[in-house]
Structure 1
Amino acid sequence: MTILNRRVFLGASASALALGGCANGVGGTGGPRMDSRVDATRDFLFSRYPGTRDLAQKAFGVLYMPLMTEAGFGIGAAYGKGALRINDVTVDYYSATRATIGLQIGAQQYAHALFFMTEAALGDFRRASGWAASADIRYATPNEGASIGKETTEYAPVIAFVFGQSGLILGATLAGSKYSRIIP
């Protein structure tokens, strides 16, 4: 193992331990408690960004992640849990893990929702043992949320909407996210 690989491994391990030990409210929630958090997240999203209600109605399914906790110092990680809803009924629970590397420092928490705009995109997500976010996802910001229109939804099979950010993380990174089905 080279020195760089040891540093990367140690940095990733430290980030994972820091996230695992923080009181981010994502551990040990159980199904009913997770559903309650998802309901609150959905209601906040719809009330704060009304355009997302129409987006959810057009979507074949929505994955709500009520709380993602992210920290980084050169190497970073994020973790959270949520629920996949089809016709506003929970069908599965998921965890999201994100790893970053680059020039970064800080910590933040946020919520996000993935809107599956095609039946194929939803099917691919549900059939996969672990699904990695990729370039075919369109990211929407809270500024777009109030007026998500045809140009946002016409061609994107999956739209990720990030909202409710608190904290501060600065830098430029390369990142990858993985979603995995879990039992709450």
Structure 2
Amino acid sequence: MSRRKLLAATAAALVLAACSTTPMDPGAKRREIDAKVDNALAELYRSEGTRQLVDRAEAVLVIPDIVSAGFIVGGSYGQGALRQKNQTIGYYSVGAGSVGLLAGAQTRTMYLLFMTPQALAKFQQSDGWTIGTDASVAVIQAGAGVRADTLNASNQVIALVRDQTGFMANLSLDGTKFNRLAL
């Protein structure tokens, strides 16, 4: 077996291992996701202006633990909840794949804010919603404070992405796909 094939097989095994989960009672899984979403929102609200931004949104999708791992070939996966007026209205998974110069693993939290009823409806009615194909998403950095009144009114979907060190800027989310979970 060539070294390249061995590396590709190892990377694929790592990605599959990171994405596999043990089956869990659906009620317990919903409670687990909701608890993680509550913690992620509490963390978000520590940054200036973010609560006002979320309050302005029709709904917010919170994916608290997106795990990305790989070596040359990589993937990301996470589960979260769609909240409207502090009530969970659906559970979703997110996944993405990549090929290139990458090695290692990281965890991050993603917040997708649906700013218009039309954007929210399109997301909820889709059978697998993909950033860059089904919607254009504005990625903003919230670390320095967010003023909701200064955001462009044409931004129908806004993303905030936080890793262990803070909010991430200049991040491409194109190709990231969301699917509704049957929980």
Give the TM-score of the pair, scaled to structure 1. 0.79
Q: For residue 50 of structure 2, what is the aligned residue in structure 1? A: 52
Q: What letter is aligned with 1:56?
A: V
Q: Is the partner of 2:41 in helix, strand or coil?
A: helix
Moved more, 38-47 or 10-19: 10-19
CA-based RMSD of the aligned residues comes to 2.9
Partner Cα distance (1:108, 1:143) in 2? 19
Instruction: Please show how residues 31-180 of structure 1 align to structure 2 within 5 Å.
Output: 31-47=30-46, 49-134=47-132, 136-144=136-144, 146-165=145-164, 176-180=175-179
Task: Give me the TM-score of the superposition, normalised by structure 2.
Answer: 0.80
Whole-Å separation in 2 of the counterparts to 1:174 and 1:132: 9
Code of the aligned partner of 1:74? I
Query: Deviation above 4 Å: which 4+ runs of structure 1?
Result: 6-12, 172-175
Within a 5 Å distance, the mapping from 1:13-32 to structure 2 comes to: 13-20=12-19, 28=24, 30-32=29-31
Identity %: 32
Aligned residue-pair number? 170
* Contact in 1 for aligned 2:60/2:82 (Cα 8 Å): yes
Alignment-mate amino acid for residue 108 of structure 2: Y
Gapped regions of structure 2 (runs ≥ 5): 166-170
Alignment partners' CA distance in 1, 2:11 and 2:98? 9
- Which range moves more in the overlay, 95-104 or 75-84? 95-104
| Deviation for aligned residue 1:41 | 0.8
Asked if structure 2 preserves the Cα contact closer than 8 Å seen for 1:137 and 1:156, the reply is yes
CA distance in 1, matches of 2:72, 2:153: 37
CA contact (8 A) 2:15 2:70 kept: no
Opposite residue 110 of structure 1, the aligned amino acid is R
Aligned mates of 1:120, 1:158 — CA distance in 2: 10
Contact persistence 1:62–1:116 (CA under 8 A): yes
Greater fraction helix: 1
Give the letter for the 1:68 counterpart. Answer: I
Maintained 8 Å contact 1:140/1:160: yes
Give 1:72 deviation, angstroms: 2.3
| Preserved contact between residue 83 and residue 94 of structure 1 (Cα < 8 Å) | yes
User: 1:118-152 CA distances to partner (integer Å, 9 max, x unpaired)?
Assistant: 111100000001100126101122435x2244343
Distance verdict in 2 for CA 1:40–1:18, change over 3 Å? same
Aligned AA (1:86): Q
CA contact (8 A) 1:100 1:173 kept: no
For residue 37 of structure 1, report the CA deviation from its aligned partner: 1.2
Name the one with the larger strand percent.
Answer: 1
Residues 75/89 of structure 1: CA separation in 2 closer, same or farther (3 Å cut) = same
For residues 57-78 of structure 1, give each alpha carbon's deviation from its aligned partner in whole angstroms, at most 9, with x where no partner exists: 1101100111110012221100
